[in-house]
Structure 1
Amino acid sequence: MHLLYQKNADNAPAQKILAAAAYAGVEITAESCGENKASTDADFLNLCDPCGEYPVLELEDGSGVCVFGANAILRYVARMKNEGSLHPYGRTPFEASQVDMWIDFSSTEIDAANMPYIRMAYEKTISDVPVDALDKIKAVLVGLEEVLSVRTFLVGERLTIADVAVAFSIHWVYRCNRKHGHALAKEYRAVYRHYNTVMRHPKIHATMRKEGAVLGPLRN
Structure 2
Amino acid sequence: MTEDEKPEAKPDAKSDHKPELEKDARAEAGPSADTASPDEAQDATSESSEPAQEEVAEPSLEDRLAETNDQLLRALAELENTRRRADRDRAEALKYGAASFARDMLGVADNLQRALGAVAELDQETLPDAAKSLLEGVAATERDLIASLGRHKVQPLSPMGEKFDPNQHEAMFEAPGTGQPAGTIIEVIETGYVMDERLLRPAKVGIAKDD
Q: Shared fold (TM-score greater than 0.5)?
A: no
Higher relative contact order (CA 8 A, sep 6+): 1
Q: Which has the higher strand share?
A: 2
TM-score of the superposed pair, with normalisation by structure 1: 0.22
TM-score of the superposed pair, with normalisation by structure 2: 0.22
Q: State which structure, 1 or 2, has the greater radius of gyration over its C-alpha atoms.
A: 2
